[in-house]
Amino acid sequence: MKPELMLRQLDAPVTVKNFVRNDPKCNYEFYMVELLNHSKEMRRLHPQQFVWHASQAHAECDAYSGSYGIDFKLIASQSSMKASSVLSPHYRIDENGNIVGYESKQDKLNRESEITVTRLHAAIRQATPQELERIRGGENLQSYEKDIKVFLEKLETRKNLLLFYPYEYRFAEEQRPQDGVEMLVQALQRSFVSAFCYRSAHMPAYETFLTTVYYNDFVLMKIVDNRVRLMDVVSGSDCPTFEHLRKY
């Protein structure tokens, strides 16, 4: 595609639960709820406000709009999330409310600060549904296949899902194209089509939504007949928890 579509993984305070010690807002599920409540299309489908469900001891969903429940799933690879947690500078809120930064876990171990990670969208792009079935049932898997297997296990969740791909997309050129959101949707379709086929084959009774970040805005999509359909674009400023965590 021209101009080139670029992406970078969102920082650990934004995506890793409780990454910032003593900050009760450090939970991506909170701004997923804010996203749903600021989506005009989601409000049309589910008029009641979504409310985060704190207790999930009995397999409750993460959030509910009336009787409609939905679960939130981060779908970055397990290896990339581990690298983000281990290699990133850490933060805590002290007893006076000040933000204190300190070294990463990797620095403490005094090891070379490199970890091999899987870019999920690239790893799964070439996989056929048959290959995904093989990976899901496999044991002696390569590292990238292990990441794919974890992703497939999430897709088997017997609930309506909002999949959050925790990356921010931008174009290489300074000015974003007018059809940039449509180009992003097409790119996600090409990368994840086999995964959507897997989800619909195993969990046909449940709805699947997808979101990612585009220039600090959330692009909300729905998977319909294994195709990515654009629902809404919600400003990051409408999600105060997201804005709060990005400040770190």
Looking at residue 80, what is its pLDDT?
A: 95
> How far from 12 is each of 22, 197, 245, CA to CA, in Å?
15, 30, 9
Of 29, 17, 19, residue with least CA distance to 93: 19
Q: Which pLDDT score, from 0 to 100, does residue 111 have?
A: 56
**Mind listing the pLDDT tens digit for each residue in 26-57?**
999 999 999 999 999 999 999 999 999 987 77
CA 242 remoteness from chain centre: 13
Q: 59-81: per-residue pLDDT in tens? A: 899 999 999 999 999 999 999 99
Packing angle, helices 180-202 and 143-155, rounded to 10: 80
Compute the distance between CA of residue 66 and CA of residue 135 in angstroms, rounded to an integer.
37
Instruction: Answer yes or no: is pLDDT of 1 > 80.
Output: no
**Is the model's pLDDT at 3 over the cut of 80?**
no
- Counting residues of the chain whose pLDDT is more than 90, the rounded percentage is 81
**What whole-number distance in Å separates Cα of residue 42 and Cα of residue 218?**
13
**The pLDDT of residue 108:** 53
Number of Cβ atoms within 10 Å of the Cβ of 242:
24
Classify strands 217-224 and 208-214 as parallel, antiparallel or unpaired: antiparallel
* Cα 3 from chain centre: 24
Amino acid, single-letter form, for residue 113? S
The rounded radius of gyration (Å) of the Cα atoms in the chain is 18
Summarize pLDDT for 95-133 with one digit per residue, the tens. Answer: 998 999 887 665 555 455 678 999 999 999 989 989 999
Whose tokens are 């409540």? That residue is 37
Regarding pTM above 0.85, the answer is: yes
Confidence of residue 2 (pLDDT cuts 50, 70, 90): low
pLDDT of residue 106: 56
Please give the pLDDT value at position 107. Answer: 56
Reading the block at residue 75, the tokens are 């779908």
**Chain mean pLDDT for the chain:** 93
The pLDDT tens digits of the residues spanning 191-220 come to 999 999 999 999 999 999 999 999 999 999
